[in-house]
Chains A and B, each alone.
Chain A
């Protein structure tokens, strides 16, 4: 899979998560969905699920678009350059 496709997949994941967070059409369910474990209303339990989804989303992003640097990257000629100050 080329890098641009990976980046597009990451963008899609971010978009889905953003839409889910701003899913105002689901707010009607706040008064209709029964309490989860007898104490979590939908407005609350939705974000408990969202947190689990966020971990899965980050897992996927790490797997497809977060490579390790090559071993010699930090041992190259010139080493540390003077920093901009």
Chain B
């Protein structure tokens, strides 16, 4: 039953989102860079909340809690452990150098950055195709996951098709008028709401279960295996190691994350984000892990998909109806903050990298096209989420891995002057094909040597890039200078190597 307080909370929530959409439309300029990159003017908090909120999905609060319910405390390190460090590190490793090139040459997407480095339309096209190919299923699965969670937490009162419709429509309310600026502002609002409610929820559940130490004692007595990582097959060391190559390193490759890094106003913003990010991710996944593990003691006996309902079940059984409303808003917030960014980046790639191949469009026309395409893609994603085609779902199962195996080319392009367009093309296409052969069961399992397919595919990408680049002509000096001349000026500026002093000083 919805209380008066619950209705007030819902009305306030939607009012804020609509207000952001209206205000965002008033301050936005009708230029491509303003609409898709917020004029490259995002501050530290904006970039941080944009990256954080975009990377939090229904899995964080629902799926991960269910996984923790089954696996125990080890789920925490398995899922988020390596990400805590390596994701912010990639903001430095890939993000900063890409930001420098974006700022210098006006690049706004991965196809532009890496097509520009290799001076190759083919590299740009392969990046574009792969990013669209992996982003669409990822987007659809986010909508499906979020809608299912929304329906579950409303105890079936809101049917699946309405959940999907609500989630997509609300995302469009502020994304269409205000572009990236609108999604970032809502990310700040929704991310704050999400963090605050999650912490309060943890405290409320702990209190309902007798306190932090009491519920932990029950787990120690009833199921001590939950404390020991070595007793779970799902997180066996070889899986644990392989998983390091999936979600954590894929984050910087997601187009919505990459674009938001390019939208930072200055390097100091990225530095601060790299310091906030580990604590925020560790914090939010800690809440989800504890809720899942505690749930195994409070509501024992769930298996498989039922375990994913543990957070809604805890709220239902132990907390008041107002918490259900807050839970619904949290689900809406996390789902929408990732869906709006995926929709916008998908549209951005098509508008900025595909349309110009077909026809010349001005900056203001690009904004108009962006708005039209947002609606078209949202409608398409909605119907795909309703039908749930098997092909889309099977691609989504390894979309993260697909993003991950693109990383070696991105790093090679930014750090290895000898890398060339032939190596990049081969290292993008060959591992992607192998990944499909492994995940679709065409190649036998033993060919991955027991690892998840992403690991051998990642190694293949590195080997292919090096071998093909060495086997073909090096990039022309002027092309290398265009990229590495910038990096030399930035990274070797203060203390040039011996023999290079005069060259650097003369610049």
Q: Report which A residues bind B (CB closer than 8 A).
A: 1-4, 14, 17-18, 21-22, 24, 27-28, 30-31, 35, 37-39, 41-44, 46-48, 50-55, 57-59, 61-62, 65-70, 73-74, 76, 80-81, 83-85
Report the nearest B residue to A28, measured CB to CB.
B230
> Knowing that A41-B73, A81-B106 are A-B contacts, what are 5 other residue pairs whose CB atoms are under 8 Å apart, sorted by A's residue number?
A38-B216, A54-B88, A67-B491, A69-B100, A83-B107
Q: A44-B73, A81-B106, A83-B108 are in contact. Are A22 and B244 (CB under 8 A)?
A: yes
Are A58 and B105 in contact, with the CB atoms below 8 A? no
Are A39 and B213 in contact, with the CB atoms below 8 A? yes
Q: Which residues of A contact B116 (CB under 8 A)?
A: 81, 83-84
Alpha-carbon distance between A80 and B80 when the two chains are bound, in angstroms:
39
**Cβ-Cβ contact count across A and B, 8 Å cutoff:** 170
Q: DSSP class of A's interface residues: helix, strand, loop or mixed?
A: helix
Q: Which residues of B contact A80 (CB under 8 A)?
A: 104-106
Are B267 and A69 in contact, with the CB atoms below 8 A? yes
Are B103 and A74 in contact, with the CB atoms below 8 A? yes
Q: Which residues of B contact A31 (CB under 8 A)?
A: 224, 227-228
16 contacts between A and B (CB under 8 A): A3-B492, A21-B85, A43-B227, A44-B289, A44-B290, A47-B81, A47-B282, A54-B282, A58-B88, A69-B100, A70-B493, A83-B106, A83-B108, A84-B115, A84-B116, A85-B356
Contact of B76 among A2, A39, A43 (CB under 8 A): A43
Report the nearest A residue to B271, measured CB to CB.
A62
Are B104 and A51 in contact, with the CB atoms below 8 A? no
Interface-central residue, A2, A28, A42, A44, by most chain B CB under 10 Å: A44
Alpha-carbon distance between A37 and B237 when the two chains are bound, in angstroms:
28
Are B497 and A50 in contact, with the CB atoms below 8 A? no
Are A67 and B121 in contact, with the CB atoms below 8 A? no
Taking the closest CB of chain B, its distance from the CB of A66, in whole angstroms, is 6
Report the nearest B residue to A30, measured CB to CB.
B228
Are A39 and B212 in contact, with the CB atoms below 8 A? yes
